[in-house]
């Protein structure tokens, strides 16, 4: 009986530790989800989606092509603090003007196999998402700085 109790205790502890490592964010927590996607692509880097809050960075384990009509449904794993520190400043560089966009598709993301960005904003009760063209000629120049920073961060995380 003691061995059984000890075994159950160890299993419970391992389950708690495992859940903590793969902890999804509370949906009410402020966060920014960002990443890129390519439809005609093969390999790990074709779809990279990350979730960033004030304290942690997570990477999506599913790597699914985003649906342009609905929020991305990811399953996130916490990344090391060093990676979190490498994306420092991304939330602050978010262009507030993006919140005024009437459509959630900007340009023609991945239309010519050049890819697109997925950006989801959830702060202070405002939750919106966008699929944004990677071809700068198809989008407003007011987003260039943010998208350049986004691309740089994605590259650093890979």
Predicted confidence band of residue 3 (pLDDT cuts 50, 70, 90): low
pLDDT > 50? residue 108: yes
List of domains in the chain: 26-157 (3.30.1560)
Averaged pLDDT, 23-51: 82
Question: Which is nearest to 93 in space by CA: 25, 140, 32, 26?
Answer: 32
Question: How buried is 91 (Cβ within 10 angstroms: 0-12 exposed, 13-18 middle, 19+ buried)?
Answer: middle
Residue 20: half-sphere exposure toward Cβ, Cα within 13 Å: 6
Residues 6+ positions from 26 with CB-CB distance below 8 Å: none
CA distance linking residue 40 with residue 47, whole number of Å: 11
pLDDT tens-digit map of 48-77: 999 999 999 999 999 999 999 999 999 999
Q: Which of helix, strand or coil describes residue 93?
A: coil
pLDDT tens-digit map of 6-15: 434 444 344 4
Averaged pLDDT, 126-133: 97
pLDDT > 60? residue 153: yes
pTM score, two decimals? 0.81
Tabulate helix, strand, coil % of the chain (nearest 5).
35, 25, 40
CA distance linking residue 134 with residue 80, whole number of Å: 28
Predicted confidence band of residue 32 (pLDDT cuts 50, 70, 90): very high
**pLDDT computed for residue 2 by the predictor:** 56
């Amino acid at each position: 009986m003691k061995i059984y109790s000890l075994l159950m205790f160890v299993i419970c502890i391992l389950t708690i530790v495992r859940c903590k490592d793969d902890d999804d964010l509370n949906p009410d927590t402020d966060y920014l989800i960002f990443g890129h996607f390519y439809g005609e692509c093969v390999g790990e880097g074709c779809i990279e989606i990350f979730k960033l809050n004030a304290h942690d960075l997570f990477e999506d384990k599913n790597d699914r092509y985003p649906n342009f009509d609905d929020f991305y449904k990811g399953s996130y794993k916490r990344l090391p603090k060093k990676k979190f520190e490498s994306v420092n400043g991304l939330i602050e560089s978010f262009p507030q003007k993006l919140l005024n966009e009437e459509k959630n598709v900007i340009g023609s993301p991945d239309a010519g196999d050049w890819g697109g960005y997925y950006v989801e904003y959830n702060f202070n009760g405002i939750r919106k998402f966008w699929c944004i063209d990677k071809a700068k000629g198809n989008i407003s120049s007011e987003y260039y700085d943010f998208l350049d920073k986004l691309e740089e961060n994605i590259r650093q995380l890979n």
